[in-house]
Structures are given as structure tokens and as C-alpha cells.
Structure 1
Amino acid sequence: MDDALAAVVARLYAVPPEEFVAVRAAEVARARQARDTRLAAAVGKLRKPTVAAWLVNLLAHERPDLVGELLELGEQLRDAQRELRGGELRELSVRRRSTVAALAREAARLAGPDRGNLPLPEVENTFAAALADATVAAAVQQGALTKSLEYTGFGETPRPQLRLVQGGEDTPRTGTVTAKRSAPTQDDREQRAEARRREEERRRAEEERARAVRQARRELMTALQQLSDAETAKAEAERAVAAAGKAIASAEKRVKIAQDALADLS
């Protein structure tokens, strides 16, 4: 990629996906105005990224230092895997999980506070794939992904089995390198155990939320019934007060009549 195209890519893949088409058209027009037909054709072929891919690209362009740290960690992980350094691999695996999560959060922060429902799991999967495979790492560092990536089966042998899955449309590239599948590593087992633990926590949280919702509804119905009963009692009391007032007025009238009659007799 020449410098001119690289500069356009850096600008284009850092803008939100909803602005991509308009910005690409402007870049094509600028290249044509400069009579650079080759650049205009190359820019016109650039594909719109998904939101997840845009978040990864955004981090690559705005925080290349963090992406550099990610790639360095990936090299350390692959070295430890190849040389079967179990203790170091376990320590690096802990760093891997925290690093991937931190990078996804930073990408979301760069996207701005108005962005909701961001596909952060897809972003984390892409960063995890970059840690597992140097080719993916180079693509992430370039900051021109159009789709999120997923690495199936962490671990590297002299000829690793690797499958990159790029979901959605307009997939720019897929790569498959096949070899004998290695036995599950300690890290694989830890990942599966962690996934099971998270799923169990999610299930328990959903059950607890459902119980809380049911309890809140019961309390609401009870409160509404109590309010209805209180309003009925108030209405009955008001009617009783009104009836009592009429009875008092009638009695006072009779007392007055009786007093007048007694005065006449006297």
C-alpha cells in the first residue's frame, strides 16, 4: 500500500460506519480532481466496515500504542506455547484476558458516550484472534478491517490449525491453515471453565432478576389493592359524615321547634 492510499485508509476507517460511504465518495472525488485515477479506483474499492470492525480500526488509529502492546503480548504467548513454558503461559493467559477486555472498553470510550449496544464481544474476539495469530495481528494493526475476526482454538504448534471467521457481508479475506489438531492445553481448559463460570453467573443473575421482577409485581398489586381499599373507606367515611351532618341539622331543628312550643305554653 503506497503512502497516499495508506493516508486515505487511515482517515476513512476511523470514521463511524454510517459516515463511511459519504467520506469515501469525497476521497474518490479528491483523487480524481488531483488526476490520480489509480488512487481513485483503489479508494472506490474500499469496503464499509461493520461496527465491530470499526471499533478495532478506531483503536488502531487512535491508540496504536495499545495495539502495539497487544501484539507484543501475542508474541510472548506464542513463544510460551511453542516452548511449553506452562507457568509463564498461565501468567500470560491472565494478562491476555484482562488486556482484551481493557482494549474493548477503550475502543468503546473512543466511540463516544452516545453509542449504545456496541458489539464488544466481537471486538474482544478480534483482539483475541490477533493474540493467537501474527497474520491477524498485522491486519488489526493496519486498521482497515471490514469484519470482526474469531480464532477457533487458542494455541500454536509448529504448523498450527487456524481458522479465521469473518462474519457478515463483503468479507475481504479468509485464511485457513490446516494441520494436526493439538491436544487441549491448560489454557484451553481454563478458558472453557471460565466460560462455564460466566454462563452460570449470567443464568443466576437472570433468575435473580426474574424473581425480583415477580416480587416487585406482587408488591405493586398489593399496594394498589390497599390504595383501592383506602379510597373506598374514605368515600364511605365521607358519606357517613355527610349523613351525620344532616341528622344533626334535623335534630337541631326539632329541638328548636320543641323549645318554641314550650315557651308558648309558659
Structure 2
Amino acid sequence: MPGPSTELVQQLYRTPPDRFVAARDAAVADARRAGDPSTARQLARLRRPTVAAWLVNLLAIRRPELVADLVELADELRTAQRELRGPRLRELSAQRRAVVGALVAEVRKLAAAEPDAPPAGRLPLAEVEATLNAAFSDAEVAEQVRAGRLLRAASYAGFGEVPRPQLRLVTGDDEEPEEEERPSRRPGAQRARPEPATRTDRAAPGTDRAASRKDRAAGRAEQAERAAQRAARAERARQRRALERELALAQADQKRVEAELTEATGQERDGVAVLDGIEAELAELERRRAVAEQDLSRAKLARRAAERAVTVARRRAGEVEGAIEALAAEEGDADGGAGAAD
């Protein structure tokens, strides 16, 4: 059987952790009802991610192009670390800080759009940031982030690629210690001299001159070889000093950015606290506004009822006054008629 589809797995890892198990079990039941036990077993093996890992997975699923940029930059940064290219390393480190900051902000936005996500004040953004920074140092973490299948947050407190590369210049041959010299260069050492020529050898001056030329040529070759070795050692020493300077700069840069990270984390924590306080105040103001609107609505209804009552009372008072006046007029007419009769 083909197994679970990528869309189904992404849908599960897009689900908030508190609902992950229920969603996974429902998918397992669906696969069993469909007669696909292999898919059901594979789905059952999926594990619930932590909240921080879920946020990183959400970023990888919702904004894969941003995570792809992170992975590409991480590859470049690890290459620069292996090759010990100081200026490029500092440039990429600055880009890393900017990218991680932008991705953390994007995670906050994505979480705000999720109905079941934790409140902004309880989002483990520090763990998200640590995981994204670890992706720059560990290719395996970077791949897990890109796939959107992370189960828990990752962190890396060191500097450079894991394992950290050794700062040693690799050459074709092992470097000889500078304290050791070839036997011919040790104090008191003398070059072996040829045995004195025999009477028969002296009888052949051409052969003697040829041997002398070979000795001089061998001596010059040995001197040239020693000079080349000294130059090679000097070059290796120069390169070692350059690497040590680069290492010192890189370590200083590491301390600086770690201090910036600590400061930024503290500022973020303070900002979250302020935002939580403002949100609480806004919620209280909204509640008071709703109560005031209800009171105002009731007051308007009471005013309208009172206005209607006043209108009715005035009309009734007018009617009663008219009746009294009519009665008084009738009484006056009756009194006048009685007087005339008398």
C-alpha cells in the first residue's frame, strides 16, 4: 500500500498539539475502515510535537519559501565556516540574525491566525528562535525544519558546524616539527665524504670530475629542498597565524551576537509582558463598554417609555380639564335658568 499522503501528514502536523492525538487517531481509524492497515500503522507511529516544534512545522508548511531561504543560507554559512572565510562568515552571520528575526515574527503572525493557538504571551518564541539558529549549525535539524516534521525544539550553544571543524591546514604530507632537523642539519653533523681515490681512480681524471659535479649538484639540490621546506613551514606558520586571527574574530563575533540574543530575548519578554497587560486592559475596557452600552440601551428604552407615559398623562389631563369645564358650563346654565324661573 502507498502509505499516508504528504497532504494528510502535513494536515496532522498543522494541528495544534492538544488536538494532535485525536486527529491522528481519527486518521488511523479512517485508514483501517478503508482497508489500508499499512497506512494505519504508519499514521499510528506519528508522535505529537511540542508547542515550539508545532510552531516551526506551521512555518514550514504555511511558508515553505521562507524556510527554503533559511536552508540555503544555512548551507552557505556552513560552507564559509568550513573554509574559514572570515569576511563572508561575518556577512552571512548578519544575514542569519535578520532571517531568524523575520521568521520568528512570521511565526507570531501565523500563530495569531490559528484559532486554537496559545495566547501571544505564552508562545515559546525563544525555543522557536533557538531551533532556527540550530538549523544553521546542524544540517539534520535544517532538514527536519524544512520537512515540517519536527517533534521537539532544538538548540545549539556552540559556534560553527556540528561537529566543529578542526582549525588545521591539511596538506599532502604531515608537517615536520620545526624543532627537528634533518641529520645533515644538526650541529656537528658532517656530510659523508667520499673515500680518497685510489691510485687507479686518480689515473682517470674525467671520472673524478664527473663525480665531483654530481656531488655539487646533489648538494645544491639538497640545499634547494631545505630552502623549500623552510619556505613551506614559514607559509604554514603564516596561515596558522591568519587562522588564529580569524578564530579570534569569529569568537568575538559569537560573544557579541550571543549578547545581542540575550538582550533581544529580554526585550521580547518585556514586550510580551507589556502586550499582555495592554490586552488585559483592552479586554476590561471592552467589558465595561459592553456594560455601558447595555445600560445606555436600557436608559433609552426607559426614556421612551416615560415619554409615552407623559404624553398619555397629558392627554388624560386635558380630557379631564375639558370635562370639568363642560360640567362647569352646564352648572352655570342650570343656575341661570333657575333664576329666571324665580
Instruction: Note closer, same or farther for the CA distance 1:88–1:149 as it changes in structure 2 (3 Å cut).
Output: same
Instruction: Note closer, same or farther for the CA distance 1:200–1:102 as it changes in structure 2 (3 Å cut).
Output: closer
Residue 194 of structure 1, CA deviation: 3.3
Question: Using the alignment, how far apart are the partners of 1:136 and 1:198 within structure 2?
Answer: 20
Structure 1 counterpart of 2:132, which letter?
A: F
Counterpart of 2:4 in 1: which secondary structure?
helix
Per-residue CA shift, 1:69-125, capped at 9, x if unaligned? 000101110111111211111111001011111111111211116632211111111
Residue 151 of structure 1, CA deviation: 1.8
Counterpart of 1:4 in 2: which secondary structure?
coil
Residue 185 of structure 1, CA deviation: 5.7
Of 246, 253, 256, which residue of structure 2 is paired with 1:190? Answer: 253
Residue 181 of structure 1, CA deviation: 8.6
Aligned to 2:185: none
Aligned length: 185
User: Does 1:119 find its partner at 2:124?
Assistant: yes
Instruction: Note closer, same or farther for the CA distance 1:109–1:129 as it changes in structure 2 (3 Å cut).
Output: same
Find runs of 4+ consecutive structure 1 residues off by over 2 angstroms.
Answer: 2-8, 113-116, 179-189, 193-203
User: Does 1:69 find its partner at 2:69?
Assistant: yes
TM-score, normalization by structure 1:
0.62
Question: Using the alignment, how far apart are the partners of 2:156 and 2:141 within structure 1?
Answer: 9
Counterpart of 2:10 in 1: which secondary structure?
helix
Question: Using the alignment, how far apart are the partners of 2:261 and 2:132 within structure 1?
Answer: 19
Alpha-carbon RMSD across the aligned residues, in angstroms, is 2.7
Structure 1 counterpart of 2:72, which letter?
A: E
Of 161, 164, 169, which residue of structure 1 is paired with 2:163? Answer: 161
Superposition pairs of residues 196-235 of structure 1, within 5 angstroms:
196=259, 199=262, 202=266
User: Does 1:128 find its partner at 2:136?
Assistant: no
Instruction: Note closer, same or farther for the CA distance 1:29–1:62 as it changes in structure 2 (3 Å cut).
Output: same
TM-score, normalization by structure 2:
0.49
Aligned to 2:41: 41
Structure 2 counterpart of 1:135, which letter?
A: E
Counterpart of 1:151 in 2: which secondary structure?
coil
Aligned to 2:234: none
Question: Using the alignment, how far apart are the partners of 1:198 and 1:6 within structure 2?
Answer: 35
User: Does 1:151 find its partner at 2:156?
Assistant: yes
Counterpart of 2:151 in 1: which secondary structure?
coil
Question: Using the alignment, how far apart are the partners of 1:134 and 1:41 within structure 2?
Answer: 29
Aligned to 1:87: 87
Report sequence identity in percent.
Answer: 45
- The question of whether the paired residues in 2 share the 8 Å contact of 1:93 and 1:187 is answered with no
Question: Using the alignment, how far apart are the partners of 1:198 and 1:78 within structure 2?
Answer: 20
Structure 1 counterpart of 2:100, which letter?
A: V
Structure 2 counterpart of 1:66, which letter?
A: L
Per-residue CA shift, 1:185-236, capped at 9, x if unaligned? 6344223223335656859x98xxxxxxxxxxxxxxxxxxxxxxxxxxxxxx
Residue 144 of structure 1, CA deviation: 1.0
Aligned to 1:221: none
| 5+ long unaligned stretches in structure 1 | 163-178, 207-266
Aligned to 2:218: none
Superposition pairs of residues 51-66 of structure 1, within 5 angstroms:
51-66=51-66
Structure 2 counterpart of 1:63, which letter?
A: R
Residue 62 of structure 1, CA deviation: 0.6
Question: Using the alignment, how far apart are the partners of 1:181 and 1:187 within structure 2?
Answer: 12
Structure 2 counterpart of 1:142, which letter?
A: A
Residue 180 of structure 1, CA deviation: 5.8
Aligned to 2:24: 24
Counterpart of 2:46 in 1: which secondary structure?
coil
Question: Using the alignment, how far apart are the partners of 1:95 and 1:42 within structure 2?
Answer: 39
Rg larger in structure: 2
- The question of whether the paired residues in 1 share the 8 Å contact of 2:86 and 2:250 is answered with no
- The question of whether the paired residues in 2 share the 8 Å contact of 1:5 and 1:43 is answered with no
- The question of whether the paired residues in 1 share the 8 Å contact of 2:3 and 2:42 is answered with no
Question: Using the alignment, how far apart are the partners of 1:61 and 1:67 within structure 2?
Answer: 9
